[in-house]
A and B are shown apart, each in its own frame.
Chain A
């Protein structure tokens, strides 16, 4: 079962294991010994040199910015790309004498996320200060949850396809160690030319959920699939917008490799990953690099590396000042965070002052996995299609809306959605919401097709016309361009006669022949 769960990248970089059912070991492009991870998270030796195989181990630390109107401990607004330092309260600028006041919404978002990730929610969690000096950390410490985080011991199931074939999907689970609430830092902009640093504190103090995933993954694709599923869950919950490009979801990967039966190797932390695609690349590169390094007799340093997306490789980050001792200390200005459930909820308690875990649990929306199941069940579409539908924001809703407005069978509709609509959108880098063709128009078109008023070829032509977004209905386009299928026998005869009449010479030539 070699290479299970690992896609093209793996096959290019590493050979298949000898024990695998796939094609036999082939030359690896970079000529080193190969490793592949399988569905069970193991590794198989390349067999070429008969050396022990390598097992890559990948864990993730994910910072998800909480979607909230105001920051974690202050009333300043949270907004992306606002003018620098326009969203900074006295507390955010750490003016002396200011105190943190916990934002209820952020706590609720973390509880929701914890529940969605099957965590146990701690009824009592604590805040701590983590100290380090940095220009965009005005207080000199970050308020986080080091000792007792809000949620622990969860799991996340995610699916990925084998050998890049959508038809072969496996489901895996990664354990969630904990979710902790903490403050975001500001942003430093280094102006090397004038050798100065500009600090923007708009982001300082925005609420983050740090989700720590146990090292249960073994390749970039698994990491990417896990993060994608988390992203979908966060977006479904609304606890984070989780847009990586806007920094609302930041992923650090801990990567190490070791031989079977041996303890985990020294790990590196890869930062600066700003898309899911780059996450897969960065992790795979780092695994590869470590194996190469070790095979060549080198050692792996416990270091932080940055992914350079242009070069497609990881490079050591300039170490700030050696090993930091964060001098953790309880945050004295925040009492323990106490949460309740239906059982422990005190009577006569002001509802504004308490958070009831059960209440939140009851109101959790359908998670992506449930939504997919429902789509498959309700519309008879393939499971892999349900993944695609959920992967694009709003696509499942679009699909359902079209299905509702047309007589065409969902199984047929899905083809139009995935092949035509989606590829057009991708080609033009549009979101579903930006689609020039609404679900209503598409349904209209599919209805014409379903009623056999136009041919499938003509339908594509109409669709091509609809993309222009000129406000015409499919029927108008059909009429204008005369794309309708002729249902009237006489009319058809007339047309044929006209053609024959117009081509007398040819007809004459043909008749005797």
Chain B
């Protein structure tokens, strides 16, 4: 039961009271990672260091001096955060085998607070994608594909085909982290969010996905996709846990000049009982082409929920929303072209054997090291940055970005506290269906509801809301004012409590879990 528990209320208490030790907790998670290996959520499992960290945590508990709520808590980190001594690959041939000499600030903060780092989670190569299907280590499978809920409702063509063709994607690019949290192999995970990469898989995997305000959490050590939009994301089982993680990660970092100067005061979320003072905005532009009727209905039901509880619910307009995704792509690819320039095979990473000249070595290294998606974005980004195109594309996109940010400012100035929108257009697609479209098309569709928050730098959270007709999770998104995470999370927590999202019932996984757990237990007694 502890494995499925929530941090602040349950797990932390269990650890404190000695009902479970950090080592036991870590072992159980490791065992579960093994038994759910088919999900492909993890690229690297750091078993040895994790157990060592757990042991150290155990010592602290024994001395009665745990470091805080996170002490002894197994967590997972997306494989685009640098971890000293543990491989950091970005799911790319370019960085396969790369071991960073330093920890990302967020990783260091977690370790400093006693968290146990289980491993590195799978993603789209260099976080470029929305399915977690385009990494060199293969696609991540959505744990809900193996849930009782999904199996009951999906109609397999034939029984044998069931598992191999019916499994659904996690969304992405932080799909590994979302799957890890959703399948109970860790209590929380770090993702990254550039255009929706945390919220999208959170919605598809039925977990909470928080993208904090740009500048609130350090990006130092996060291998960048788009520096001006990247934010470390938080994936947890509940909103309260997201607040715990946020509190442990947020604040100024001298190593990241774009972080806020002010210190961040961690907060506990109040149990909101009265929402009558609240104004919820429903941006009409988010009723976007392709939005499934099912999600539309859920969205409006959620709005009603607030209305019926006494909140003011108003339709608002963010008029530049429709231009956002194209501008996002221009700015994103331009920065990608720039950020990827360092991967030349000289200092680190893959280096081609072709050594006719420095230039040919560069070219071969980059062709061999990057997949088509990355190379395509580099190509278009460089095109947009050419002298003759710079004004026409990059500068124009930046101007529109400002307009998009201003849309939000206007809406919040008009008295709206929080915006409520869908996170995704539909529930998770089966893998076989998803890969029919190319990455660019998919990203354009899948980021459409999420990337505007990145363009504007605003905090946003996806909260699991209900199961679709197919028995798959659907999340809704709340977008808040800059640096008003507390308000955002308080509202999200209220909403979470109202909707009572069902817990995933992993038949297969459960079976494995119990077996392994007993095995471990007996092993430790022998």
Contacts and interface: CB of A to CB of B under 8 A. Distances in A.
A75 to B, nearest CB: 10
Interface stretch (A31-39, A110-118, A136-144): A136-144
A325 B387 contact: yes
B342 interface: yes
A97 B223 contact: yes
A95 B100 contact: yes
A471 B197 CA distance: 77
B256 A140 contact: no
B386 A329 contact: no
Contact of B223 (A96, A321, A353): A96
A328 B384 CA distance: 11
A183 to B, nearest CB: 13
A141 B385 contact: no
Contact of A329 (B101, B220, B335, B342): B335
Interface in A91-142: 93-102, 129, 131, 133, 135, 138-141
Interface string A69-91: 00000000000000000000010
Contacts of B223: 96-97
Contacts of B222: 97
B338 A335 contact: no
B257 A102 contact: yes
A197 interface: yes
Interface string B316-344: 00000000000000000011011011111
A330 to B, nearest CB: 8
A332 interface: yes
A96 B82 contact: yes
Residue of A93, A98, A129 with most partner-chain B CB within 10 A? A98
Given A135-B358, A321-B359, A328-B385, A99 B342 contact: no
B224 A329 contact: no
A49 B82 CA distance: 72
B274 interface: no
B267 interface: no
A101 B358 contact: no
B257 A100 contact: yes
Contacts of B224: 96-97
Contact of A99 (B220, B358, B390): B220
A91 to B, nearest CB: 9
Interface in B217-237: 219-224, 226-228
Interface in B338-355: 338, 340-344, 346-348
A107 B346 CA distance: 31
A133 B359 contact: yes
Given A90-B102, A325-B386, A329-B394, A96 B342 contact: yes
Contacts of B340: 140
Interface string B339-380: 011111011100000000011001000000000000000000
B359 A335 contact: no
B344 A133 contact: yes
A334 B226 CA distance: 14
B257 A101 contact: yes
Contacts of B227: 332-333
B257 A140 contact: no
B68 to A, nearest CB: 26
Contacts of A141: 338, 341
Interface string A323-341: 0010111001111000000
A332 B82 contact: no
B219 to A, nearest CB: 7
B82 A101 contact: no
B335 A94 contact: no
B346 A199 contact: yes
Interface in A132-159: 133, 135, 138-141
A489 B385 CA distance: 93
B484 interface: no
Contact of B347 (A93, A99, A325): A93
Interface in B197-252: 219-224, 226-228
Given A97-B82, A327-B385, A329-B334, A335 B346 contact: no
B95 interface: yes
Interface string B43-82: 0000000000000000000000000000000000000011
Contact of A139 (B100, B220, B335, B341): B341
Interface in A195-229: 197, 199
Interface in A463-477: none
Interface in A375-393: none
B254 interface: yes
B445 interface: no
A100 B255 CA distance: 8
Nearest to A88: B347
Contacts of A99: 219-220, 255-258
Contacts of B261: 353
A293 B82 CA distance: 57
Nearest to B386: A325
A101 B258 CA distance: 10
A133 B82 contact: no
Nearest to A100: B257
A444 to B, nearest CB: 55
Nearest to A132: B341
Contacts of A140: 338, 340-342, 344
Nearest to A350: B261
24 contacts: A90-B101, A95-B102, A96-B88, A96-B90, A96-B95, A96-B223, A96-B224, A96-B342, A96-B348, A97-B81, A97-B82, A97-B224, A98-B221, A99-B220, A99-B255, A99-B257, A135-B346, A138-B346, A141-B338, A327-B382, A327-B387, A329-B335, A329-B394, A333-B257
The 8 A-B pairs of least Cβ separation, nearest first, read A140-B341, A327-B385, A332-B227, A332-B228, A96-B223, A97-B221, A94-B342, A139-B342
Given A98-B220, A335-B257, 6 more contacts: A93-B348, A95-B101, A96-B100, A96-B343, A97-B104, A97-B220
Interface of B: 81-82, 88, 90, 95, 100-102, 104, 219-224, 226-228, 254-258, 261, 334-335, 337-338, 340-344, 346-348, 358-359, 362, 382, 385-387, 390, 394
